[in-house]
Chains A and B, each alone.
Chain A
Amino acid sequence: DAKTTQPNSMESNEEEPVHLPCNHSTISGTDYIHWYRQLPSQGPEYVIHGLTSNVNNRMASLAIAEDRKSSTLILHRATLRDAAVYYCILRDDSGNTGKLIFGQGTTLQVKP
Chain B
Amino acid sequence: GAVVSQHPSRVICKSGTSVKIECRSLDFQATTMFWYRQFPKKSLMLMATSNEGSKATYEQGVEKDKFLINHASLTLSTLTVTSAHPEDSSFYICSAKRTRSYNEQFFGPGTRLTVL
Residues of A within 8 A of B (CB): 34, 36, 38, 41-46, 49, 85, 87, 93, 96-105
Contact = CB atoms under 8 A, between A and B. Distances in A.
Contact of B44 (A44, A46, A96): A44
Nearest to B108: A43
Contacts, number: 51
Which of the four size classes fits the interface of chain B?
A: 20 to 34
A71 to B, nearest CB: 16
**A-side interface mostly:** loop
B43 A105 contact: yes
Given A43-B93, A87-B43, A100 B105 contact: yes
Contacts of B95: 43-44, 100
Contacts of A85: 43
A97 B110 contact: no
